[in-house]
Amino acid sequence: MRAVLVEPNPLIAEALGRQLGMGKIRYDRLDWPELEELLAEQGGEALGFDAIVLGGLPDPAAAVASLRAQRVTAAVLCLLERRDVAATVALLHAGADDVLVKPVVSAEVRARIEVARRRARGLVSNAVRVGRLTVFLDGRDPNVGGERLRLSQREHAILGVLAAHHRRVVSKEHIYDEVYGLSGADPLDKVIDVYICKLRKKIAEATGGARYIETVYGRGYKFEAPPEHEEPDTPPRLLRAVTPFKGLVRPPSAPIAAVG
């Protein structure tokens, strides 16, 4: 996961950076003019970050509104010095995904960013069910029919990217950027191909030879259950009216005496 940290105070920025690092979030520290320059060069939709963490700006609501006006789709997390309901409301109305009060904790920052990203992808939980596989996006190993499928850290990260884009083609470049960011040093094509091969083998062994990851030549990979593992679509069930438990039914109230 990659983030931009905008915090003008160097001491606070260092403390926030430590928390981001503890949450395994790679980050680049930029000041606001530098971020605006980057947006002017690349455009909001092409900005290669999962999240933008804003803290210590004179007018954070205006900054958030500017990001959304430039079509920035990254999660925007704002940090306040103290609890301020009016400021929080203004930030949320401007387009912020979440607001936290300093000091922050790494696990909470990462969790809130993941929730924002999940909503943006149309996912309602951390579990993605694909055929017989259940892939968890919160760090847990996937399972097949309730049995744990043990994966390495890199394998889990790559499968998580594919599962988050279930039934859509994901390019090698996107996978590499999501998993490695700027820290990757291995040749892109080879390293992704190697891990995809390992994932296919492990999934096939757990599912009786099924192939869940397809290569779309010239474009990337697609994660989808094979036809024999697809569950038939079923209409949503209507909830039945709940009958109160007899032991909790209130006795009828006594008649109100007429006044007169």
pTM of the model: 0.61
3-state secondary structure 32-81: HHHHHHHHHHHCHHHCCCCEEEEECCCCHHHHHHHHHHCCCCCEEEEEEC
Measured distance CA(27)–CA(106) in Å, rounded? 13
Nearest to 110 by CA among 21, 32, 186: 21
Residue labelled with tokens 């109230």: 253
pLDDT tens digit string along 115-169? 887 776 666 567 888 889 999 877 788 999 889 999 998 898 899 889 888 888 9
Question: Per residue in 5-40, is it b (16+ CB within 10 Å) or e — as a string?
Answer: bbbeeeebbeebbebbeebebebebbebeebeebbe
pLDDT digits (tens, 9 = 90+) for 76-124: 999 999 999 999 999 999 999 999 999 888 888 888 887 887 776 666 5
Q: Which residues partner with 94 through β-bridges?
A: none
Burial class (CB in 10 A: 0-12, 13-18, 19+), 128: buried
pLDDT digits (tens, 9 = 90+) for 206-250: 999 999 999 999 899 999 998 888 765 434 343 344 444 444 444
Summarised one tens digit per residue, pLDDT across range 182-204 is 444 455 667 889 999 999 999 99
